């Protein structure tokens, strides 16, 4: 019997979204007879194992005593909550800078452990989805595949908005302003990072990149109808669009019963783990949605106790299986994370974007530019604007037509199956 080839999956050590996308690809490769192994930090253990996939734990986040880690996370979140209320341009000096500094710190710490783990596992190939370069994954003596689970402009191009800028497609003045601000705040971090990268034997990265495309294969999640018109088109031999990448999830989903509005559209509100900490924003949304003729389900993470009294048409949940829930929804009020956006579009549901950071700003602008939904300022909307946004995404004929076409397109192109086939073809070509 042939020995199974090991494929290592390395998602971003501190984020769940990239892991979930990679799980879908790993499932397909496991079905083809390969051995997928997820390299994850112990603090992020569990998601892949929950889908029957193997996990190998490697410390990538700085080891701190529990009290120091809690204090550090509390301070980070305190600063982040302040930054969320500022513009994408202003966030360059705060949230973006802090995230890149933390990412660089993680890379330095993780390098020896990652190198040792990869030497032990001896993978035939590595599939990675990270915000920064981890030199050990590209120097392990095997091909590697880069997955871009954030918005498409993470692969930069002079003709499209800069990553995390939130600029609209043709705002060239906005591009220049953001790039100047980014260079002033981030170039010193990039220079320090390159000193470490070169010290490992890896080539230096060009400005402003904190990682590079794979010379073998790059997989982008963005669906075709939302793609940018690039000044320099990506080489189709090395870059493939997956049109979403939904994992198989057999978990049953029970839509709650509401005492009122049971025959009315269902609105789902999901802001991710970071966004759920903005209790005041969610409380305001609940109060406003409670006055409208809809059913509303709000994902609130570990903060359910903050909502002791709810309108009859609103319920909260600590967690929900989005893939199971979305087919039953009509409108999805979201932060613009690429995972939630792709799932929303896959099922043809109506997005209302309320971003607060990172590529959520880019995705909100792209949804508006391509007429797939509506973007609202997260903090300064009025109840009338919210009500109008819901009416628009439910009934505007252009938005409805675009959503239906994009959903059909995404469902006809199984992104996980396509990714698995491309990875297998790469392996067979070696």
Residue 2 has pLDDT above 60, yes or no: no
Residue 15 has pLDDT above 80, yes or no: no
Per-residue model confidence as pLDDT tens digits over 371-398 = 999 999 999 999 999 999 999 999 999 9
Q: CA angle at residue 282 from 280 to 285, to 5 degrees?
A: 110
Q: What's the pLDDT band for 135 if we cut at 50, 70, 90?
A: very high
Query: What pairing do the DSSP bridges indicate for beta strands 125-129 and 6-11?
Result: parallel
Question: Mean pLDDT over residues 230-244, rounded?
Answer: 93
Q: What's the pLDDT band for 77 if we cut at 50, 70, 90?
A: confident
Query: Cis omega (within 30 of 0) on the bond before 338?
Result: no
Give the side-chain half-sphere CA count within 13 A for 305: 1
Residue 190 has pLDDT above 90, yes or no: yes
Question: Mean pLDDT over residues 31-60, rounded?
Answer: 91
Q: What is the pLDDT of residue 78?
A: 83
173 SS3 class: helix
Q: What are phi and psi of 353, to 5 degrees?
A: -95, 125
Q: Which residue has the higher pLDDT, 68 or 52?
A: 52
Where b means 16+ CB within 10 Å and e means fewer, 8-17 reads: bbbbbbbbbb
Provide the sign of the torsion angle of the four alpha carbons 371, 373, 379, 383, taken in this order: positive
Q: What is the pLDDT of residue 183?
A: 98
Q: Which residue has the higher pLDDT, 241 or 43?
A: 241
Q: What is the pLDDT of residue 423?
A: 97
Q: What is the pLDDT of residue 1?
A: 42
Residue 89 has pLDDT above 50, yes or no: yes
Residue 250 has pLDDT above 70, yes or no: no
User: What is the pTM for the complete model shown?
Assistant: 0.93
Per-residue model confidence as pLDDT tens digits over 296-326 = 999 999 999 999 999 999 999 998 888 889 9
d(C-alpha 20, C-alpha 17), whole Å: 5
User: Tokens for 385?
Assistant: 């604007």
Q: CA angle at residue 274 from 71 to 391, to 5 degrees?
A: 155
Question: Mean pLDDT over residues 191-219, rounded?
Answer: 96
The rounded mean pLDDT for the chain is 92
Helix axes 383-395, 397-412, angle to 10 degrees: 60
Which of 53, 31, 24 has its CA nearest to residue 40? 53
Q: What is the pLDDT of residue 383?
A: 97
């Amino acid at each position: 019997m042939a020995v199974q080839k090991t494929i290592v999956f390395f998602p971003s050590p501190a984020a769940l979204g990239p892991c979930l996308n990679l799980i879908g690809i790993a499932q397909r490769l496991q079905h083809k007879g390969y051995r997928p192994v997820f390299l994850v930090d112990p603090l992020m253990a569990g998601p892949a194992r929950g889908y029957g996939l193997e996990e190998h734990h490697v410390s990538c986040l700085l080891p701190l005593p529990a009290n120091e880690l809690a204090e550090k996370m509390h301070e980070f979140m305190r600063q982040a909550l302040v930054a969320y209320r500022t513009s994408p341009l202003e966030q360059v000096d705060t949230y973006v800078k802090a995230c890149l500094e933390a990412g660089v710190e993680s890379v330095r710490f993780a390098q020896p452990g990652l190198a040792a783990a990869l030497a032990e596992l001896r993978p035939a190939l590595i599939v990675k989805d990270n915000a920064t370069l981890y030199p050990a994954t590209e120097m392990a003596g095997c091909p590697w595949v880069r997955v871009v689970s954030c918005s498409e402009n993470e692969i930069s191009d002079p003709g499209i908005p800069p990553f995390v800028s939130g600029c609209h497609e043709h705002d060239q003045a906005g591009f220049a302003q953001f790039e100047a601000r980014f260079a002033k705040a981030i170039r010193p971090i990039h220079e320090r990072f390159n000193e470490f990268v070169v010290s490992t034997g890896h080539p230096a990265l060009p400005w402003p990149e904190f990682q590079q495309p794979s010379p073998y294969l790059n997989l982008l999640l963005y669906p075709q109808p939302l793609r940018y018109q690039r000044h320099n088109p990506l080489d189709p031999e090395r870059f493939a669009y997956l049109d979403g990448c939904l994992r198989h999830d057999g978990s049953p989903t029970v839509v709650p019963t509401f005492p009122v509005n049971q025959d009315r559209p269902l609105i789902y509100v999901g802001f991710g783990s970071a966004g759920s900490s903005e209790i005041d924003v969610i409380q305001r949304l609940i109060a406003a949605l409670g006055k409208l003729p809809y059913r509303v389900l709000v994902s609130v993470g570990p903060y359910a106790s903050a909502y002791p009294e709810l309108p009859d048409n609103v319920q909260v949940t600590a967690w929900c299986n989005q893939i199971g829930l979305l087919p039953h929804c009509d409108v999805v009020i979201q932060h613009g994370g690429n995972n939630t956006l792709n799932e929303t579009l896959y099922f043809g549901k109506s997005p209302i974007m309320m971003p607060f950071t990172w590529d959520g700003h880019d995705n909100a602008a792209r949804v508006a530019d391509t007429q797939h939904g509506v973007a609202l300022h997260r903090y300064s909307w009025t109840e009338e604007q919210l009500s109008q946004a819901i009416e628009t995404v439910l009934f505007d004929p252009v938005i409805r037509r675009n959503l239906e076409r994009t959903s059909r397109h995404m469902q006809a192109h199984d992104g996980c199956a396509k990714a698995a086939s491309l990875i297998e073809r790469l392996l067979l070509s070696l």
